[in-house]
């Protein structure tokens, strides 16, 4: 009486989408049969069609252990009454959903030695490693990627890793080891140093998910610098179209799921008010339509008049305010000292605040005081000497 059965589950490409992987239930081997197998029909191999089998804890653990496309695992399953009713009829012939399974002798995913099935007492069987002739050229694969290098500074690590995984799927890089090796070719600067250190600590045998989580933690954005730069970036001159592309790129490097209407609002509201008023908001529903409006605006006279109007305002206000050089510059014509002219010494050019005759009246009142006579006389003599020297120069 059959109490157990041997099953094989493999990870293969989906029948509907070759870029996606799916678990498939490949064949059944009954107790007491060593060289015969029963193949599951191709249209019934998807593991999701085998609900009762998938509910077993052992099968769930098997699925967790299969990670790369092309790998598989065989295991012995104890038959419960429900499973036996699903996969066997009353005479214990193998069937599934009222369809008897095809008996085969050389199914897929069975390792053989010199034409015979291997007797290794292992549940896990792996495909042979690829020979050197089939070694992948990762540099050539990298050329097919539409992706810029990552330096750990210029772009968001979350967005970059999303693009990287998308390109891996597009270029059919499915195995974790291959993804890690490709990842190395896209690293620059500090990111390359990060990869070299993680290669020592993690190695190539870890899953790509572990590498991804480590990369996210290492280059997690903690500052607001990029956000300030993106949101505060404003148009100050030059091409309006170039400005729009630059603003869009800065915003999308923060979030790649910006709603179109919000993205347009952020771009337009960073234009000068006089240019914003020239754009009809009801007609600009896509970024491409916004570019069309900006191109029309660049070619119109209103755009030039708007810029000239702003420039005229600045020029006019600047003319109304005296410049620093005008308020602080020295007079071109020298004025003679009024104090010296009153005293009879005309033609002296110096500031009144340093005029020697300014306090002469006070000194005259004190000329009869002993000790001050010499001072008064010296002042008068000095003034006469200065006058003589000035006349000689003239």
Q: Are residues 205 and 155 in the same domain?
A: yes
The predicted structure's pLDDT at residue 1: 65
Helix (H) or strand (E) holding 117: strand 116-117
Domain assignment of residue 204, yes or no = yes
Q: Are residues 190 and 244 in the same domain?
A: no
* CB neighbours of residue 263 within 10 Å: 18
Query: What pTM does this model have?
Result: 0.34
Both structure tokens of 208: 């790509």
- Please state the domain count of the chain: 4
The predicted structure's pLDDT at residue 71: 86
- Residue 335 φ then ψ, to 5°: -100, 135
Domain assignment of residue 305, yes or no = yes
Domain assignment of residue 340, yes or no = yes
Specify the pairing of strand 95-96 against strand 112-113: unpaired
Q: Of 164, 186, 218, which closes a domain?
A: 218
Question: What domain range includes position 171?
Answer: 144-218
Q: Of 218, 238, 255, which closes a domain?
A: 218
Q: Are residues 108 and 26 in the same domain?
A: yes
Q: Are residues 231 and 205 in the same domain?
A: no
Q: Which residues contact 207 (CB under 8 A, 6 or more apart)?
A: 67, 176
The predicted structure's pLDDT at residue 303: 53
One digit per residue, pLDDT tens: the chain, 394 residues?
Answer: 667 888 899 988 888 887 788 899 999 988 777 778 889 988 888 888 898 888 888 988 888 888 888 888 888 888 888 888 888 888 888 888 888 888 888 787 775 433 444 433 334 444 444 444 346 788 888 888 988 999 888 787 888 888 899 899 888 888 888 999 999 999 998 888 889 888 888 888 888 888 988 888 888 766 676 778 888 899 988 889 899 898 888 888 777 777 888 888 899 999 998 888 888 888 898 988 888 888 888 887 555 545 544 444 433 333 333 444 444 444 455 678 888 888 777 777 778 777 877 766 445 545 544 544 444 445 555 565 566 555 555 4
Dihedral sign, CA of 183, 189, 192, 197? negative
The predicted structure's pLDDT at residue 339: 83
Residues 257 and 251: their CA atoms lie apart, in Å, by 10
Q: Of 218, 245, 267, which closes a domain?
A: 218
Domain assignment of residue 128, yes or no = no
Q: Are residues 258 and 283 in the same domain?
A: yes
Domain assignment of residue 76, yes or no = yes
The predicted structure's pLDDT at residue 379: 52
Helix (H) or strand (E) holding 276: helix 273-276
């Amino acid at each position: 009486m059959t109490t157990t059965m041997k099953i094989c589950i493999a990870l293969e490409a989906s029948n509907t989408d070759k870029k996606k992987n799916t678990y498939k239930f490949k064949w059944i081997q009954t107790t007491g049969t060593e060289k015969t197998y029963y193949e599951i029909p191709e249209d019934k191999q998807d593991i999701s069609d085998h609900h009762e089998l998938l509910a077993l804890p052992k099968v769930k653990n098997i699925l967790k252990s299969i990670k790369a496309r092309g790998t598989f695992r065989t295991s012995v399953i104890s038959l419960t009454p429900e499973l036996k009713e699903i996969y066997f009829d009353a005479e214990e012939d193998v069937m599934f959903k009222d369809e008897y399974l095809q008996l085969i002798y050389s199914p897929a995913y069975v390792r053989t030695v010199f034409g015979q099935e291997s007797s290794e007492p292992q549940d896990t069987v792996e495909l042979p490693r690829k020979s050197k002739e089939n070694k992948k050229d990762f540099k050539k694969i990298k050329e097919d990627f539409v992706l810029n290098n990552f330096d750990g500074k210029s772009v968001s690590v979350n967005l970059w890793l999303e693009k990287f995984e998308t390109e891996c799927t597009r270029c059919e890089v499915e195995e974790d080891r291959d993804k890690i090796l490709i990842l190395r070719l896209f690293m620059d600067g500090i990111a390359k140093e990060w990869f070299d250190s993680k290669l020592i600590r993690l190695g190539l045998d870890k899953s790509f998910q572990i590498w991804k989580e480590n990369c996210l933690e290492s280059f997690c954005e903690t500052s607001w610098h990029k956000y300030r730069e993106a949101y505060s970036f404003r148009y100050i001159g030059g091409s309006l179209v170039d400005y729009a592309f630059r603003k869009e790129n800065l915003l999308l490097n923060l979030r790649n799921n910006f709603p179109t209407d919000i993205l347009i609002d952020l771009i337009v509201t960073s234009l000068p008010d006089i240019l914003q008023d020239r754009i009809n908001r009801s007609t600009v529903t896509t970024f491409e339509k916004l570019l069309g409006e900006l191109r029309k605006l660049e070619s119109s006279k209103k755009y030039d008049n708007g810029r000239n109007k702003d420039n005229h305002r600045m020029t006019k206000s600047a003319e109304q305010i005296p410049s620093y050089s005008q308020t602080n510059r020295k007079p071109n014509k020298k004025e003679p000292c009024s104090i010296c002219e009153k005293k009879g010494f005309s033609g002296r050019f110096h500031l009144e605040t340093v005029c020697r005759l300014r306090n002469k009246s006070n000194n005259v009142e004190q000329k009869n005081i002993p000790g001050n006579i010499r001072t008064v006389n010296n002042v008068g003599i000095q003034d006469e000497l200065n006058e003589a020297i000035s006349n000689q120069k003239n």
